[in-house]
Amino acid sequence: MLSCGGHGTHAIGFHEGFAQACSVLERGSVKVDTAGISPPPTDACMLPAMTTIRMEKLAKRYGNVEAVRGIDLTIESGELFFLLGPSGCGKTTLLRMLAGFLEPTGGRLFFDDRDVTQLPANKRQAGMVFQSYALWPHMSVKQNVGYGLDIRKVSGADKERRVNTALETVQMGHLGDRRPNELSGGQQQRVALARALVVEPSVVLLDEPLSNLDARLRQSMRSEIRRICKEHGLTGVYVTHDQEEALSMADRIALLREGQIQQSGTPEMLYSRPNTRFTAEFLGETNLVDATIHAATGNGVELDTPLGRLSSTALPTDLPEAGNVTCSIRPESLRLIDQETSHSPAAAIVTGQVQERMFLGERCRLTISCGDAATPLHVLEIGAEAEKTRQNANVRMAIEPEDVVVLSD
């Protein structure tokens, strides 16, 4: 079995791991080949073009450490699904079990209706894109992309066609004769992606593929990877710790912590309706406000808080009838108003003073102290409004009930 140096960090690098992955070595019951790109399966193992991935109580232990704790999750065919979380949360370990590089210590894994829990990596028809690119420095771009086809004994016109198609897909067709050291970081990552695509996988697995790129390249590659996955009808599983990357690219996200899924759903749902403090804080800036349940209303609750009486219609399913709770209010949900600004009758009006103003171009971040509240509020103004509010100004804010999210912890 391929050794893994840690359950939360990338442990297969170019120098220490890729040589093993490229030689189709056998370690125990697992075979690994070029950057995780598997040889073509036999007819008995052939998978459809779009594959549903299902995990049932999937687990992985390293001695006394539970890296992955009984994951139940279904990734629909054609989805670009993100495994998101901090270092050490188990997301990379989970990805490697999907690839067949690690053998689960519990549970079952299905590609469509086929149980692949014990199936070797070389029969899963999955393409792997590593964080480190893992390109052979002595080979040209075309040779790197075609290496997996050489292992599969695909040659001649068919190999030429598939290599050229894969390179054109990632917009690298004109650079096929160059060596990796003649390419930029973004171009090298495109070659790594083409190498995964050339074997025509049903599932593509991406392990923090953009982490070595600068900010501008990451932004352009986000759109490129999503476009390729959607145009080819691929089921994609993408590991990252970058919240912005996940929110901007994913169809759905599973947020992991200590080997367990904290919450899963669409990016919009996780951001606007977090269920715990961890989710609320990990997916961007938020204001956490302590509150006491005052009374139930028709479709929500009234809350007593240091900011005054607030209403909420964003409630967890396990909301108690009384007691203390915590609310999450996103900075952009706090709207500065004047006497003429309209707002809904249900909105709470909170007053305060601007203690700090940070101008960020198209937006402005304000820190506002509010009466007896020990913790100031952070407010985000966007567009033309960002130029109006000045430091030390007294302000009024409207808070709508749907923006006050009551958390379950």
Task: Say whether 285-406 and 14-272 share the same fold.
Answer: no
pLDDT confidence tier of residue 238, bands split at 50, 70 and 90: very high
Q: What is residue 156's three-state secondary structure?
A: helix
The C-alpha atoms of residue 144 and residue 223 are separated, in whole angstroms, by 24
CB 399 within 8 A of CB 360: no
pLDDT of 1 strictly over 50: no
pLDDT score recorded for residue 204 = 95
- Strands 324-329 and 287-296 come out as antiparallel
User: CATH code for 14-272?
Assistant: 3.40.50.300
The residue written with tokens 């900011």 in the block is 307
DSSP secondary structure letters along 315-379: --TT--SSSEEEEEE-GGG-EEE-TT----TT-EEEEEEEEEEEE-SSEEEEEEE-TT-SS-EEE
- Taking the C-alpha atoms of residue 16 and residue 139, their distance in angstroms, rounded to an integer, is 19
The length of the chain, given as a count of residues: 409
The predicted-structure confidence for 185-201, as pLDDT tens digits, reads as follows 889 989 999 999 998 89
Question: Could you read off the pLDDT of 60-119 as tens digits, one per residue?
Answer: 999 999 999 999 999 999 999 999 999 999 999 999 999 999 999 999 999 999 999 999
Q: Which amino acid type is present at position 329?
A: I
Is the pLDDT confidence value at 51 over 60?
yes
Averaged pLDDT score across all residues of the chain: 86
At residue 343 the predicted structure's pLDDT band, cuts being 50, 70 and 90, is confident
Return the domain boundaries, the chain: 14-272, 285-406
Min mean pLDDT across 231-245, 336-350, 393-407 is at 336-350
Q: In this predicted structure, what is the pLDDT of residue 329?
A: 98
Comparing 90 with 122, the larger pLDDT belongs to 90
* pLDDT tens, position by position, 247-265: 999 999 999 999 999 999 9
Choosing among 3.30.420.130, 3.40.1010.10, 2.40.50.100, 2.70.210.12, the CATH entry for 285-406 is 2.40.50.100
**To 5 degrees, how large is the angle CA 89–CA 90–CA 92?**
120
Angle between helices 141-151 and 156-169 (to 10 degrees): 130
Residue 49 binned pLDDT confidence (cut-offs 50, 70, 90): low
